[in-house]
Amino acid sequence: MSPLPTEAATRGVAVAIEDVSKHFGPVRAVDGVTLSVRAGEFLSLVGPSGSGKTTLLMMIAGFDEPTGGRFVVGGRDITHVPPHKRDIGMVFQKYALFPHLTAAQNIAFPLRMRGVSRAERDRRARLALDMVKLPDHADRFPAQLSGGQQQRVALARALVFDPQVILMDEPLGALDKKLRQQMQLEIKELQQRLGATVIFVTHDQEEALTMSDRVAVMSEGRVEQVGSPRALYEGPDSVFVADFLGNMNFFRGRLDHATGEGCRISVGGIGMAAQPAAGAVAQPGSPVQVAVRPERLMVSREEAGTAGIPGRIRQQVFNGASLTVVIDIADGTTVQAAADARSAVAELRPGDRVAVGWSAVDAHVFADGLP
């Protein structure tokens, strides 16, 4: 068994998920998922509760048997291989540390199960503690550790036997916001240094966008869209993905005409330019939804000749460096705009009439359907 790596290298292996399903009676928890994870990649599975992301992870780990399909890791079919023979590291949401074992003993446990000598177990546990910045906590029991320290011990235990693939199931869910953000950066930095392949389950969209090389958005047991965080955030393929990842405004309108370079829509009788989402099919005159991020929404005081959709400010929320402006538009839709707290928008007050607009590249048109 090689020593824990300390320099950046792609040591991870590719993971292929091929037409995998999991049925619980009539319920299709995972429904024909096909997904390829590249060697050394950090891929996050996100989606609402019940979307199938944790069930899929448990099947990769070997704790659940698929109803159909197969898993191939590093070219090896592991679909029916016992969990302890898959050579996959696992970090659970509840950490799953043994309360009667010290931090070092918890970390060394996978090595003990693999028949590694006592001296080698101790050496590798110390290296793993150094790696997660807990060199002085070897003799502490879980009850003597903070939540963040327990999370680090669980991570070290997953890394100590040098796996090529690491699975993480909501490992930061129990931490407060500040510590969670700190651990996001530490885990990503460690993964990049080790070069391991990581499949990370989270319901936190911001966490997925921050940490991932790519994100797979799941809904009702299926993968809706896969791509880089920026690609998914700026170019969602469906109303579901647009609504799930980050904050999004939806305007109801009508498609006037479309070309290969864009389209023209009417919102409340006001003509606006936009971009059809990938795969969006709509005929001129049909109802559509236009999705625009709050930070891409432009707000100005309504004056004679001002272009844009008319509305009225309901309230402003001060967030420090930024400002959230809540606006009611004429058709009853409420939208939000994000602005710099020092911008001209900050001078507007509740009740003021405004005009709302956007750049065509920032507006995505979908065939009508509520998010």
Are 208 and 46 in contact by the 8 Å Cβ rule? The answer is yes
* Residue 4 clears pLDDT 60, i.e. is over it: no
Mean pLDDT confidence for 147-164: 88
- Please report how many Cα atoms fall inside a 13 Å half-sphere around the Cα of residue 267, on the Cβ side: 28
**C-alpha 177, offset from chain centre:** 16
* Residue 57 clears pLDDT 60, i.e. is over it: yes
For the chain, give the mean pLDDT: 89
For residues 112 and 108, give the distance between their C-alpha atoms in angstroms, rounded to a whole number. 6
pLDDT, tens digit, 9 for 90 and up, residues 63-80: 999 999 999 999 999 999
Is the domain spanning 247-367 CATH 2.40.50.100? The answer is: yes
H or E element at residue 207? helix 205-211
Identify the bridge partners of residue 15 per DSSP, sorted by sequence position. Answer: 37, 73
**C-alpha 327, offset from chain centre:** 28
Mean pLDDT confidence for 286-312: 88
**C-alpha 259, offset from chain centre:** 33
Domain spans in the chain, listed from the N-terminal domain onward:
15-239, 247-367
- How confident is the model at residue 1, as a pLDDT? 46
User: What CATH number was assigned to the domain covering residues 15-239?
Assistant: 3.40.50.300
The residue among 369 and 12 whose pLDDT is bigger is 12
pLDDT, tens digit, 9 for 90 and up, residues 170-185: 888 777 788 788 888 8
320 contact partners, CB below 8 Å, separation of at least 6 = 341
- H/E/C letters for each residue in 278-324? CCCCCCCCCEEEEEECHHHCEEEECCCCCCCEEEEEEEEEECCCEEE
Kind of pairing, strands 88-91 and 165-169?
A: parallel
pLDDT, tens digit, 9 for 90 and up, residues 242-290: 999 989 999 999 999 887 678 899 998 899 999 887 766 678 888 999 9
Mean pLDDT confidence for 187-191: 87
For residues 37 and 17, give the distance between their C-alpha atoms in angstroms, rounded to a whole number. 8
pLDDT, tens digit, 9 for 90 and up, residues 207-243: 999 999 999 999 999 999 999 999 999 999 999 999 9
In which residue are the tokens 């004056």 written? Answer: 303
Copy the structure tokens of residue 130. 């150094």
- Spell out where the chain has E strands: 15-24, 27-37, 42-46, 68-73, 76-77, 88-91, 165-169, 197-201, 214-219, 222-227, 249-259, 262-267, 270-276, 287-292, 298-301, 309-318, 322-329, 334-340, 353-357, 363-367
- How confident is the model at residue 322, as a pLDDT? 87
Examine domains 15-239 and 247-367 and report if their fold is the same: no
49-58, 90-99, 232-241: segment of lowest average pLDDT = 90-99
Cα–Cα nearest to 89, from 172, 157, 166: 166
